[in-house]
Amino acid sequence: MNRPLRILQIVPSVSLIYGGPSQMVLGFSQGLAAQGAAVTILTTDANGDVDQAPLKVPLNCAIAQDGYQIRYFRCSPFRRYKFSLGLLSWLARHAQEFDLAHIHALFSPVSSGAATIARTQKLPYILRPLGTLDPADLQKKRHLKQLYAALLERANLAGAAAMHFTSDQEAKVSERFGVVTRDLVMPLGVNVRTPVAAEAIAAVRQEFGIPSDRPMLLFMSRIDPKKGLDLLLPALEQLQAEDINPFHLVLAGANPQDPVYEKQIRAQVQASSLADWTTFTGFVSGETKTALLQAADLFVLPSYYENFGIAIAEAMAAGVPVVISDQVHIWRDIQRSDAGWVVPCTVADLTDSLRAALQNSGDRHQRGANAQAYALQNYSWQGIAQQMLTAYQEILTK
């Protein structure tokens, strides 16, 4: 094929409010475009489920951005489920203008509808499930998902040219509903952030009241039950009671989709001995996010399941050692590269690893250096885009 590959990236939303799994499509598309592909993103203006206003973006027109095009469509009806009849109608009219579609998310009306259209129009497509096929995730609304799979997703899985998993473990545990799929295992990338000045780090510490004389533990993720806060908070209370090493916890995140749980966690911390040792920043982005990553001495995310963990890779790229659970599917990468500590999902094991990390600053620094070297070599968009374009070509030539 002498012309550039014409690739569709389809995702329900790219709003910052939905976190890394959605946002990665932007960096991914930029990387593909830099390698010569002609990339178009189809997405909606969804920006939260209930109270948030839609994204303020032009609708149903091609917007040039970082070497690719992006088209936003009105999220309507069924805003909570990020449905867009306009997006699916556009795809039905223009599917034949593209060589391949890469569809991100399952159990989402936009993604399911897009896969159905691609399948009926013989447009090869790849599905990236974003962890939705993990048995733990499938337990949520289990009966509804079983019905949904029977009606839509099973046929979409069967018709996919490949399933894009971000780790071997994600591929291993994922449910296929009896369908045999071709698996394409490839990690996600991170945008390497330009370091901010020391003054910016000092300013963000002052803004959020983060002391500079204690190791800073950074939790930067959605405030969600699956993230293991019910492990982290008791573990830190135990370490505080031991009075060995003072520390300060920064919880950088929010959960507009489940504000009740977020309020519950805030109330729990305020009622505990950690109240004066903890800062809630809410959702952060841009220079504030970069400054917090650079200021951190340790990144912690003891999730009960996590198909990749963009925030973990971002922390590693910033040179921050990580403490994660063995249910984060890139835990073997962390273990092999000695980039941090990997623990089972128990309070006792998490407490032991946090204690070890807090008591040895030299070990933290070495593991942080290992983390950065590994992330820059293995989680760069340039390298991942090259590998993915090769995979696209193989799919199209079979």
What pLDDT, in 10s, does the model give residues 177-190?
Answer: 999 999 999 998 88
Do 203 and 89 sit in the same domain of this protein? Answer: no
pLDDT grade, residue 53 (50/70/90)? confident
pLDDT of residue 138: 87
pLDDT of residue 194: 80
pLDDT of residue 54: 87
pLDDT of residue 271: 97
**DSSP assignment string, 321-360:** -EEEETTBTTHHHHHHHT-EEEE-SSHHHHHHHHHHHHH-
Triad 389, 393, 395: Cα angle to 5°: 115
Q: Under a CB-based contact definition with an 8 Å cutoff, are residues 91 and 117 in contact?
A: yes
In a domain, 37, yes or no: yes
Give the C-alpha separation, 346 to 306, whole Å.
16
Per-residue pLDDT averaged across 94-98, rounded? Answer: 97
Do 22 and 162 sit in the same domain of this protein? Answer: yes
Q: Is the pLDDT of residue 16 over 90?
A: no
Do 263 and 180 sit in the same domain of this protein? Answer: no
Do 206 and 322 sit in the same domain of this protein? Answer: yes
Q: Which two tokens stand for residue 175?
A: 């449910």
Do 177 and 240 sit in the same domain of this protein? Answer: no
In a domain, 85, yes or no: yes
pLDDT tens digits for range 126-147: 999 988 898 888 888 888 888 8
CA-to-CA dists, residue 295 to 163, 226, 243, 275, angstroms: 37, 25, 23, 20
pLDDT of residue 50: 62
Do 209 and 181 sit in the same domain of this protein? Answer: no
Task: Tell me how crowded residue 41 is: count the other CB atoms within 10 A of its CB.
Answer: 23
pLDDT of residue 190: 85
Q: Is the pLDDT of residue 48 over 80?
A: no
Q: What share of the chain has pLDDT > 90, as a percent?
A: 76
**DSSP assignment string, 60-81:** SS-EEETTEEEEEE--BS-GGG
pLDDT grade, residue 384 (50/70/90)? very high
Do 172 and 217 sit in the same domain of this protein? Answer: no
With 0-12 / 13-18 / 19 or more C-beta atoms within 10 angstroms meaning exposed / middle / buried, residue 13 is buried
Do 261 and 341 sit in the same domain of this protein? Answer: yes
Q: How many residues does the chain have?
A: 398
Do 230 and 163 sit in the same domain of this protein? Answer: no
Do 363 and 387 sit in the same domain of this protein? Answer: no
**For the ranges 192-196, 298-302, 354-358, 381-385, which has the lowest average pLDDT?**
192-196
Task: Tell me how crowded residue 258 is: count the other CB atoms within 10 A of its CB.
Answer: 15
Do 119 and 207 sit in the same domain of this protein? Answer: no
Q: Is the pLDDT of residue 70 over 90?
A: yes
In a domain, 295, yes or no: yes
Q: Is the pLDDT of residue 393 over 90?
A: yes
| CATH number of the CATH domain containing 87 | 3.40.50.2000
Per-residue pLDDT averaged across 284-309, rounded? Answer: 93
In a domain, 1, yes or no: no
Domain range holding 238? 198-378
In a domain, 332, yes or no: yes
CA-to-CA dists, residue 63 to 10, 42, 276, 379, angstroms: 15, 11, 46, 27
In a domain, 169, yes or no: yes
Per-residue pLDDT averaged across 333-362, rounded? Answer: 97
Q: What is the pTM of this model?
A: 0.87
Q: Is the pLDDT of residue 82 over 90?
A: no
Do 138 and 211 sit in the same domain of this protein? Answer: no
In a domain, 371, yes or no: yes
pLDDT grade, residue 255 (50/70/90)? confident
> Domain tally for the chain?
2
